[in-house]
A and B are shown apart, each in its own frame.
Chain A
Amino acid sequence: MTAWDRYWFDPVAAVRPYVLERAILFLLALDAWVQFVPHGGRYGAGGFNVAHFTWLDAVQPLPSPALHVGLMLIVGGLAWVIACTGGTRWLRVLLLVLYTYGWAMSRLDAYQHHYLLSLLLGAFVFFPQVRAAQLLDAGGRRISAWAYVLVAANVAIVYTFAAVTKTEAGWASGAVLRQVTQGSPWFQDVWSWVLETGLRNDTLWELVARAVALMQIVIAVAYLVAIRSDASRARWVRPLAWAALVAAVGFHGSLLLFTIEIRWFSYYMIAIAAAFFLPEPPLRGIVGLATVPVRTVAQRLASSPRPATGLRTVSVALSASCIVALVGIHLDLPGAIAAGLICGGALAVVGLVAALRDNPERARRVAIAAAAGALALSAAVHVLPVRFQYYLYVVADLQRRGDAGQVLAAYEKAEPYAPRGQSRQRQIEALRSHLGTHGDR
């Protein structure tokens, strides 16, 4: 094999692509449910939209809240099922297409990491399918995984371009960093404390700006090199991986502490760094802990005294499809009923087909994972103010573009989901009284 072949096809620790894929998919599931959904109300507002690609504008209908929210609920569910079961190649392709359409349908979603996630999902289509039990049973298993190496190269490209932008005057002078960190009391305290050492303010900003650029270069190089860290005998590879991990966690972790709107970008980048740079044994430990529920279910299914007959598979799939549909019906979000019914129907069909094809095990695993995902979604929207945020964003838009009646209706939708101390009852009463006086509802 040539050096090129060895780079892309030589074996890597099997646990790394596994952790990368599953961590990203779990994050994506939660991200879709609790981050994308609340912003769905703005799609199609005012009858205006611009897609990311001109051809998409030509073929798609005007996006609507129901379309976007429903799509994101399905994307989250698919990501969850694949994270739990590994899914199939076609399920991964479906996830890639639906998720990419989710952000590409409108420039309202302009987060660069959403595009990066599409690239990752594209790579996952070609990832080796490994089960947790295989990783844990066989110790330090190695696999050839060119798509995993490609992710590393892709992320290195991201950091390289990010570092290039740090050569611009605005960044190099520290002006951008000043803006990012302003309004952060703890940072101001730390900054003042550092300035007490006698460093000039401007010098310190320039120093920090250059340090960030250097960190990004280190991370980029490490992604290209550390891919071989499990096999390499070079002593400097492991320290470089550690340095990159510290740099990635430090850089992206610190962004979480400032008020910049980057959603879950930091969590994704930290998860990616952990999969590539952490030593193999801790990664296997994480897999061992995190996959206890999935392995327990799989073990129970495998050791069940009653074999997985077609009839049992159909009944499991139908039960799961009912749970999924019911969760959709009770979410009280636009598009949720359609999403629940589509996913429930698809599960029922998969169960029937699997029973007919005499391939019940996988269908049962998918059905159980889907039901668990639906319950997780239900729990997430009950614990987190997903619906409250959704309807409040709608209120914010209607206050400018709608009438008082519409605002009141949106407030009334939000109110049952208000977290403690955030009730909008006062606004509702005021609007009711206003409308009662003016009668324009």
Chain B
Amino acid sequence: MVARCPDIASPPPGLLRRLISLGVAAYLIWQIAVPLRYYLRENRRDERFAWRIFSALVIAPYRCDVRVAEVSHGEQLGREVNLERTLHDAWIGLLKVGQDAVVKRFLRLRCRSDPLVDAVEFSRTCRREDRAPAPHLRVRLECRSGDITTHEEMQ
């Protein structure tokens, strides 16, 4: 496959050429399918392989705040986790864009950190300057059962 001198101009011989062609076709299908999954999804918060160039989450017409609260002993209002003291700033940034995997991993970490915690709740509230509707996301993890409920709406 690595052409070398002096026969440097030659294409690969028949069978190898066919194998390469198959590989190329499969690779192209994969390259088109991966970003396409993002564009066909309703949840567009994972832009990693979408080839957007300009992120719709980072360059968004709204600003988002996030908070995480731990609920124990049937409390109605949870105890707020000090994210600034707990996480590196870069992770808070990823929570602000609502990356599901990061949110879920952090909630699980909080559940494990204290056996008295019954549930951990993440909320992401976004606001537009023109007061038009903006995304609001709430994710709650029940520590004992591991059940996750996600609620997303425009507010």
B8 CB within 8 Å of chain A: yes
- Shortest Cβ gap from A301 to chain B (Å): 18
The stretch that binds B, out of A157-165, A308-316, A350-358, is A157-165
B61 CB within 8 Å of chain A: yes
Of the candidates A144, A145, A146, the one whose C-beta lies within 8 Å of that of B24 is A146
> B102 contacts A45, CB within 8 Å?
no
Of the candidates B10, B11, B53, B91, the one whose C-beta lies within 8 Å of that of A165 is B53
Q: List B1-46 residues whose CB lies under 8 Å from chain A.
A: 1-5, 8-12, 17, 20-21, 24, 27-28, 31-32, 35, 39
> A5 contacts B24, CB within 8 Å?
no
> B99 contacts A112, CB within 8 Å?
no
A412 CB within 8 Å of chain B: no
Of the candidates A110, A144, A180, A397, the one whose C-beta lies within 8 Å of that of B3 is A144
CB-defined contacts of B3 to chain A, threshold 8 Å: 128-129, 143-145
Of the candidates B2, B56, B86, B101, the one whose C-beta lies within 8 Å of that of A107 is B101
How far is A40 from B91 in the complex, measured between Cα atoms in Å? 14
Of the candidates B11, B56, B105, the one whose C-beta lies within 8 Å of that of A170 is B56
How far is A175 from B85 in the complex, measured between Cα atoms in Å? 35
- Shortest Cβ gap from A290 to chain B (Å): 21
CB-defined contacts of A154 to chain B, threshold 8 Å: 31
> A48 contacts B48, CB within 8 Å?
no
Could you tell me how many residues of chain B have their Cβ less than 8 Å away from some Cβ of chain A? 46
CB-defined contacts of A158 to chain B, threshold 8 Å: 51
**Contacts A107-B101, A144-B11, A176-B59; A112 near B53 (Cβ below 8 A):** yes
CB-defined contacts of A153 to chain B, threshold 8 Å: 28, 31
> A142 contacts B9, CB within 8 Å?
yes
Q: List A393-408 residues whose CB lies under 8 Å from chain B.
A: 396-397, 400-401
> B2 contacts A89, CB within 8 Å?
yes
B154 CB within 8 Å of chain A: no
> B51 contacts A175, CB within 8 Å?
no
The stretch that binds B, out of A7-15, A363-371, A413-421, A428-436, is A7-15
Q: How many A-B residue pairs have CB under 8 A?
A: 138
Of the candidates A107, A130, A179, A400, the one whose C-beta lies within 8 Å of that of B99 is A107
CB-defined contacts of B12 to chain A, threshold 8 Å: 9, 144, 146
A52 CB within 8 Å of chain B: yes
**Contacts A5-B21, A50-B105, A176-B54; A11 near B88 (Cβ below 8 A):** no
How far is A379 from B98 in the complex, measured between Cα atoms in Å? 40
> A46 contacts B87, CB within 8 Å?
yes
> A48 contacts B91, CB within 8 Å?
yes
B77 CB within 8 Å of chain A: no
> A165 contacts B85, CB within 8 Å?
no
**Contacts A107-B99, A401-B85; A9 near B53 (Cβ below 8 A):** no
A203 CB within 8 Å of chain B: no
How far is A46 from B81 in the complex, measured between Cα atoms in Å? 14
A42 CB within 8 Å of chain B: yes
CB-defined contacts of A396 to chain B, threshold 8 Å: 89
How far is A8 from B61 in the complex, measured between Cα atoms in Å? 43
User: Taking CB as reference atom, which chain B residue is nearest A57?
Assistant: B105
- Shortest Cβ gap from A153 to chain B (Å): 6
Q: Which of B4, B10, B59 has the most CB of A within 10 A?
A: B59
Q: Which of B1, B48, B53, B56 has the most CB of A within 10 A?
A: B53
> B52 contacts A52, CB within 8 Å?
no
Residues of B within 8 A of A (CB): 1-5, 8-12, 17, 20-21, 24, 27-28, 31-32, 35, 39, 47-54, 56, 59, 61, 84-91, 94, 99, 101-102, 105-106, 109
What are 25 A-B residue pairs whose CB atoms fall within 8 Å in the complex?
Answer: A5-B11, A9-B11, A10-B11, A11-B9, A45-B88, A46-B88, A48-B87, A48-B105, A112-B47, A112-B49, A112-B50, A112-B51, A112-B53, A119-B31, A126-B2, A127-B2, A130-B8, A157-B31, A158-B51, A161-B39, A161-B50, A162-B51, A165-B54, A165-B56, A401-B85
Residues of A within 8 A of B (CB): 1, 4-5, 8-11, 14, 42, 45-46, 48, 50, 52, 54, 89, 107-108, 110, 112, 115, 119, 126-130, 134, 141-146, 150, 153-154, 157-158, 161-162, 164-165, 168, 170-171, 175-176, 179-180, 260, 396-397, 400-401
